[in-house]
Structure 1
């Protein structure tokens, strides 16, 4: 009997340890943002274009556009000397070019608003916004007031923070 009990404890110890770990440490969510385009490439976009997530969420960017390479790049001085449009304590990212079906992941650990773009397709409306956490969280940084680095036509494409928080996801407005 003792042998069976030891074997059970040995086998079940990992399971028990997993359940004794605090939920915030175990429950890390994953959200997928797809990079898409029309078959002839006349339109490209991130889907969703606006996304609300909790602190600690991992974002996976996946290129689902069979005809184009894309990037997911934050507005930040470390990325091509762009003006910062992410929280001050956040680390910038640049996926480099992702070919069809390739992916890139980043975990967002600082609350606030993150604006990002596709390097070759920024002016073709391929921009997105992720809202991490809520405005009442400690360390929250809202939408960037920096507008000198981004053309007004592109700034107008970012979904509003309130709309993202209200709906959770904002899909692009079809221009066709």
Structure 2
């Protein structure tokens, strides 16, 4: 059993292994977005509600609400025939229902503004906005003009792109 390892090291595998496990080449950790709720369930939210990240960042949605299941679902025709509120070239996502303690990961690569919601709690304004890249990026697509299928309360719950870029992370209002 030692021989294959030595052969591996002799063939340059040692360099590959050193690069693979080198602390300076570690993959960036995922950025966590929590799904939260009060103990009686009268208020639910994403934390943060607004987030700025670089293209290719892994986002982990984690349900920390002990009393509800939640989704993180992109506004897109592929998801329940919703109007598109993500960049045109971006892939839509839907985490499906996450029970308390469960999580799901996505990677957003296309620069632009991504709006998403929780399927069962959208009408309670459980929505979030992610800004990927910078408006100065050539392919950056700003917030969707489509407002026909969301309520005024939902639109008001999205933080502005300018605030997200300035602060990088926007927590929901105190509860």
CA distance in 2 between partners of 1:154 and 1:162 (Å): 18
Task: Report the TM-score when normalising by structure 2.
Answer: 0.88
TM superposition shift of 1:149: 1.0
TM-score, structure 1 as length reference: 0.87
Q: Deviations over 1:141-162 (max 9, x none)?
A: 0011111111111101100000
Q: Does 1:46 align with 2:34?
A: no
Deviations 1:83-141 (A, max 9, x none): 00000000001111000010111100100000000001011121000000001112110
Query: Which residue in 1 is equivalent to 2:63?
Result: 63
Is the counterpart of residue 85 in structure 1 residue 85 in structure 2? yes
Give the number of equivalent residue pairs: 167
Runs of 4+ in structure 1 off by over 6 angstroms are none
- The SS at the match of 1:172 is coil
2:127 paired residue number: 127
Q: Distance in 2 between matches of 1:113 and 1:58?
A: 16
The answer (yes or no) to whether the contact 1:29–1:56 under 8 Å persists in 2 is no
Hey, what does 1:109 align to over in structure 2?
Answer: 109
Q: Distance in 2 between matches of 1:93 and 1:135?
A: 22
- 3-state SS in 1 of match to 2:157: coil
* Offset at residue 8 of structure 1 (A): 7.7
Counterpart of 1:148? Answer: 148
**Distance in 2 (alpha carbons) for counterparts of 1:98 and 1:152:** 27
TM-superposed deviation, 1:19? 8.9
RMSD (CA atoms): 2.2
Gap regions ≥5 residues in structure 2? 1-5
* Paired position in structure 2 for 1:36: 36
